[in-house]
Amino acid sequence: MSIPAVLVELAKTGVVKLTEETVKTFVDTKIKPIFINWGKDESRSIELEECLSEYLMRCYAKNNIMTTIVFGRLRKTLEDLYIPLTLEEYRNEDIKWVIDENCYNILDNYSRILIVDMAGMGKSTIVKYFACQGINLNKCIPIVIELRRLEKKQSIPEYIQTQINSLDKNLRIEEIVDILKKGDFVIFFDGYDEIANESKSDVLDAIQEFTGKASNTKIVITSREEDDLNSLGEYKCVNIKPLTEEEAYKLIKKYDNDGKISEKLNKRLKEDSSMKVLNEFLVNPLLVSLLYKTFEYKEEIPYKKIDFYEQVYEAVFNDHDKTKGSAYTHEKKTKLSKHQFEQILRTFGFLCLKIGKVEYGSQLIHDLLEQSVGSFICLKIIADDFLYDITHAVPFLQRDGNEYRWVHKSFMEYFASCFISVEGKEFEEKYYHKMTKFDIYPYYNVLDFCAEINPISFRKFVVLPYIKHFVNEYVNYFENEYFADFDEEAIKMAKQLLILKKEVCIINDIKFKRIHEMKPYDNSKEAVFERNKIFEEVYQKYNLSDNLMVSNYNNRDERYIIRYGEKLDFFMYDLILRHIPEIFENVIFEDIPLISEENMKIDFNDNIDNPISYDKEEFRMITKRIFLLLFEPNNSFIEYKVLDYNKCIKAIREIESIDINKSGDIFDW
């Protein structure tokens, strides 16, 4: 099929922004040059050119489509729903890039970018926008790789080969390698956090191997926060700036094309003082869409996150098809009530959480639903009917070919948390132990939901073990009489540092200046070799192990780093702060230099012979500076909350006095 013919077909489906002139220019400037001096026969070059051109159109068509819980199966495009999001340097909100028609500014400066942020902030939406604008702006040939689809033993070039090949035209793997070397490509690896846990290390190894070899190819990775990603030191790490109130209002307007519903909702949010409690939800695009969905359904606004999702479920279950009149509702094959349907959905969500996947092949989805439906044998329904309902009538799952996935991972987490807190109450302690035993970040959202659903169990099984450990450790540091008249606030922070981090050391060495004198994020083999050589020299010089995390900061002459290893999970610290703020107290950070003397290493500890302990004022300043840099390095003067020892003691007594299995005799029958 010729390119203009493909364009006509795409125009029929609503992809109208990509003009024939744009396509012709793109093919002439980006695709044809790949095959100049190709060294193969002319007919093969023409076939490969057509294959790549057809891929271009498919890529644009796919990434221009937006799928949202608000509109279900209604087709919406980027042009319909996108508002410009903003990327900002990780933990430095002063450096930012607006993702609008000039979005490629960041890729013009950095060839390796890691976008890290929480659920619903718009990571995948930004990838879609980049892909379409890469074509519109004649900037690059985009390759979008949804990492959950990357098979464990499949190489990245093999995956790219399957994406580019068409029904009647196929590239060989060696030709894929050639065009990647010759062409102007950007590879987008989307959703590292959505990979099954057992496959993550293999996929990350594959990405790193590919990154090392594809030195001329620009690469973007998106993910929620994952410890594994610390190994991607050559990537420019950015996060997505929270929406402003005006941006949230603008997004709400787009949902009904500036109609009456958005007008009412925005007016309530602006004028009703009781709505101020919702401000924290307005910063997240997903939560803004849920807010609109719930208001559209009932014109009521829930104030808590758990109520949001509960009301969204009700709205989706009872959704009326507006294209067919308000009386029409999608028929459900299972004929289940809202409560019965949710019970199975909770069980299914928990089983999905248990296996650590958000996307499932035909056999796996069938097995999971058989187990879920089988738990409610009295309902007498079949798995295939339930699968139809959750992809059509109550569309929390999407189907793409033979693959199924949740419309958003947070819905799986919501239903799973409901199961843990209600149906799975008998095993609740075991579930909490599983989620908090090692790294809690993969379960952060689930635990956040559980804390709202059942705060007593959350305190008993999550908070209590954490603060008991904190209290037991607190008395082990800085108890020497030598520190008796040191700054009390600094001592509190120093104690917390040594409880949270198993090792902290600061190195100030002239060698690091050589790294910062290089071209920013130069990923050439020579630059990577030079950086690694510098770190190896420093590690040997100061006898450092290579398994600690490294933080570099640009605040001074860029000659120092902080190395640290985690002891207590800081995400747990943050989670407890969200739900039990009363056991924390405020402290003040100060922006001061770390070490003035060059070429030295200082271990942070409570040894009275430690150089930082020689002077009370120096100890105070360095302690506060380290705490600032490790936890909130984007601010120079900030109030922060730390666990309070005495308040934790009181909380432990209160929590231990609660017996979650007894309620006295008030429920005796």
User: How far, in Å, CA of 111 to CA of 116, rounded?
Assistant: 16
DSSP bridge partners of 663? 665
Residue pair 34/52 in contact (Cβ under 8 Å)? The answer is yes
* Residue 610 CB partners (closer than 8 Å, separation 6+): 602, 603, 604
pLDDT computed for residue 13 by the predictor: 43
Among 43-57, 167-181, 362-376, 385-399, top mean pLDDT goes to: 362-376
* Residue 488 CB partners (closer than 8 Å, separation 6+): none
User: How far, in Å, CA of 142 to CA of 135, rounded?
Assistant: 8
pLDDT computed for residue 149 by the predictor: 79
Q: How far apart are the first and last CA of the chain?
A: 76
**pLDDT tens-digit map of 402-458:** 888 887 788 899 999 999 998 887 888 899 999 998 778 889 999 999 999 999 999
| Local structure of residue 393 (DSSP, 8 states) | T
DSSP 461-530: IIIHHHHHHHHHHHTTSS-SGGGTTS-HHHHHHHHHHHHHEEEEEEEE-THHHHHHHSPTT--SHHHHHH
Residue 515 has pLDDT above 70, yes or no: no
At residue 467 the predicted structure's pLDDT band, cuts being 50, 70 and 90, is very high
pLDDT computed for residue 598 by the predictor: 66
Higher pLDDT, 379 or 636: 379
According to DSSP, the β-strands at 397-400 and 403-406 are: antiparallel
Mean pLDDT along residues 24-38: 82
Mean pLDDT along residues 153-182: 84
Tell the residue number behind the tokens 């290493």, with chain if given: 601
**pLDDT tens-digit map of 611-656:** 888 889 888 888 877 777 666 544 444 567 888 999 999 999 999 9
- Going from the N-terminus, what domains does the chain have, and what CATH number goes with each? 3-240 (3.40.50.300), 245-324 (no CATH), 338-453 (no CATH), 481-653 (no CATH)
pLDDT computed for residue 365 by the predictor: 95
**pLDDT tens-digit map of 537-584:** 877 887 776 655 555 444 444 455 665 665 666 788 889 998 999 999
* Residue 641 CB partners (closer than 8 Å, separation 6+): 577, 581, 584, 585, 586, 587
How many C-beta atoms surround the C-beta of residue 503 within 10 A? 16
Residue pair 442/356 in contact (Cβ under 8 Å)? The answer is yes
Residue pair 107/138 in contact (Cβ under 8 Å)? The answer is no
pLDDT computed for residue 557 by the predictor: 41
Return the structure tokens found at 130. 């980049």
Q: Tell me which of 185-194, 344-353, 531-540 is least confident.
A: 531-540
Higher pLDDT, 20 or 326: 20
* Average pLDDT for the chain: 81
Three-state DSSP class for residue 608: coil
* Residue 303 CB partners (closer than 8 Å, separation 6+): 277, 278
Q: Secondary structure of the chain: what % helix, strand, coil (to 5)?
A: 55, 15, 30
Return the structure tokens found at 450. 């559980």
User: How far, in Å, CA of 297 to CA of 365, rounded?
Assistant: 30
CA distance readout (Å), 280 to 242, 274, 444: 10, 13, 17
Residue pair 432/457 in contact (Cβ under 8 Å)? The answer is yes
Residue pair 500/466 in contact (Cβ under 8 Å)? The answer is no
Q: At what angle do helices 305-317 and 444-453 cross, to 10 degrees?
A: 90
| Number of residues in the chain | 669
Higher pLDDT, 219 or 182: 219
Closest CA to 99 of 118, 125, 136, 62: 125
Residue 322 has pLDDT above 50, yes or no: no
For a pLDDT cut of 70, what percent of the chain falls above it? 83
Mean pLDDT along residues 113-120: 85
DSSP 339-390: HHHHHHHHHHHHHHHHHT-SEE-HHHHHHHHHHHHHTTGGG---HHHHHHHH
pLDDT computed for residue 516 by the predictor: 65
Enclosing H/E stretch for 270: helix 260-271
Residue 177 has pLDDT above 90, yes or no: no
Return the structure tokens found at 461. 């099984």
Q: Tell me which of 17-31, 111-125, 452-466 is least confident.
A: 17-31
- Count of alpha carbons within 13 angstroms of residue 190, beta-carbon side: 19
pLDDT computed for residue 413 by the predictor: 93
At residue 8 the predicted structure's pLDDT band, cuts being 50, 70 and 90, is very low
Q: Tally helices (H) and strands (E) across the chain.
A: 27, 18
Please give the single-letter amino acid code of residue 555.
Answer: N
